[in-house]
Amino acid sequence: MGGHLLPAGGDVLLNSTGTGTIGRSSVFDGHGKFIVDSHVTLLRPQNKKIDPRWLNELLRNPRFQRHLEANCYTGSTNQLELSRSQLMKSAVPTPTHEEQVIIASALRALDTQIQKTEALIAKLEKVKEGLLHDLLTRGIDENGRLRPSPEQAPEFYKESPLGLIPISWGVVRVDELAENHDGQRVPLKKSERKNGIYPYYGASGIIDWVEDYLFDGHYVLLGEDGENVVSRNLPLAFAVSGKFWVNNHAHIYSARDDSDPRFLVEVLEQKDYSRWVNGSAQPKITQASLRMMWFCKPLLDEQVAISNRLEGISQRISREKVAVAKKKTKKSGLMDDLLTGRVRVTPLLDQAQATTPA
């Protein structure tokens, strides 16, 4: 293995090549023998002078990333290379080793909070996915509990075009769940849109703001065409309220009196449209195809109960996403302040020294 770089604990590894990956860094904490290849720059901090975790945070700082991009990258857009000689010429504000440790610890604490919150969001989304399947196949009984499964209580279910469903449920076409308003849609070219306060919706959400509106009320939009009809990377069905305009790339529905709009969103979103999609270059779900599909329809009270249960966990997920976004914003601002010296950590350092046993 002669001639190869062998990383040691506390080394900082900096990705040196590739669009989208160049500039990424991490602290090497591994044990055993490893080899660093030519696509990675190994930085070994000077003992007792540079804290590796502080150095890693410095490299990840957006301000330093912009410096790397402007001064240390060479080559074409598709094959960028890090100039190690230019990197070593980079001058950065360097606090004392004690301050570096405090800065790194503060930023790492925020990282830990962010990671825990993101893990909680992932867990809640898995719970919602399972709950959604159960609620849309088993529903909620008169006592507010999830019905036993067909295997546990077959007497509660009946055969239908959708398979086994609760006895009290109906199986209907979309027109029995909602009224279609596609005939009122008016697409606007970019040149025809005048900037205003009303959202202009397309297949996957708001694409512009305009000075007038076509609809006013509570509606459900379902993407009609485009790549997302197949990939489902974004929600295909979503609720829209208030005054808005919609183009001809989204079907528009309003729930009927015996349908809950939130339930309508869920049954439209969970539907598998793969066998109904027309076209390859521009995949499309036509209104005619939608009218041929079957959908489950519990009684209104049960629709409301199902929607309330799903809304509760959705709101929890939304709150956690807001919390993690705030933490990331806080970390970004704190990182820039601490790593540039605009905010000193002297009070924290004094506190740490005061609590350290003699």
- Strands 250-255, 178-180: pairing is antiparallel
User: Which residue bears the tokens 């009070």?
Assistant: 347
Q: Closest by alpha carbon to 55, among 42, 66, 73? A: 42
Query: Between 259 and 30, whose confidence is greater?
Result: 259
Q: Residues 303, 263: contact at Cβ < 8 Å?
A: yes
At 13 the pLDDT is 93
Task: List the domains of the chain with CATH numbers.
Answer: 1-92 (no CATH), 96-169+298-358 (1.10.287.1120), 175-297 (3.90.220.20)
Q: If you average pLDDT over residues 261-286, what whole number do you get?
A: 93
At 29 the pLDDT is 85
Q: Flag whether pLDDT at 1 surpasses 80.
A: no
At 354 the pLDDT is 52
Confidence of residue 231 (pLDDT cuts 50, 70, 90): very high
Q: How far apart are CA 173 and CA 211, in angstroms?
A: 36
What are residue 313's phi and psi, to 5 degrees? -75, -30
Beta strands in the chain (DSSP E): 12-15, 25-27, 40-43, 73-74, 81-82, 157-158, 165-166, 170-172, 178-180, 198-202, 205-210, 215-223, 237-246, 250-255, 295-297
Q: Residues 124, 317: contact at Cβ < 8 Å?
A: yes
How wide is the angle at C-alpha 97 spanned by C-alphas 93 and 101, nearest 5°? 100
Distances (CA, A) of 209 to 140, 141, 238, 283: 40, 43, 18, 26
Q: Residues 201, 187: contact at Cβ < 8 Å?
A: no
The SS3 of residue 276 is: helix
Q: If you average pLDDT over residues 30-38, what whole number do you get?
A: 82
Give one DSSP letter per residue of 131-157, joined into a string: HHHHHHHT-B-TTSSBPPPTTT-GGGE
At 345 the pLDDT is 67
Locate 163 and state its tokens: 């398979």
User: Which residue bears the tokens 């939130």?
Assistant: 262
Confidence of residue 358 (pLDDT cuts 50, 70, 90): very low
Between the two ends of the chain, the Cα-to-Cα distance in Å is 46
Q: Give the model confidence (pLDDT) of 106-145 as tens digits.
A: 888 888 999 999 999 999 999 999 999 999 999 999 999 9
Q: Residues 143, 156: contact at Cβ < 8 Å?
A: no
Say which DSSP state 280 is in: S
Which residues have C-beta within 8 Å of that of residue 113, sequence separation ≥ 6?
327
Q: Give the model confidence (pLDDT) of 187-230 as tens digits.
A: 999 999 999 999 999 999 999 999 999 999 999 999 999 999 99
Give one DSSP letter per residue of 69-128, joined into a string: HHHTEES-TTS-EE-HHHHHT-------HHHHHHHHHHHHHHHHHHHHHHHHHHHHHHHH
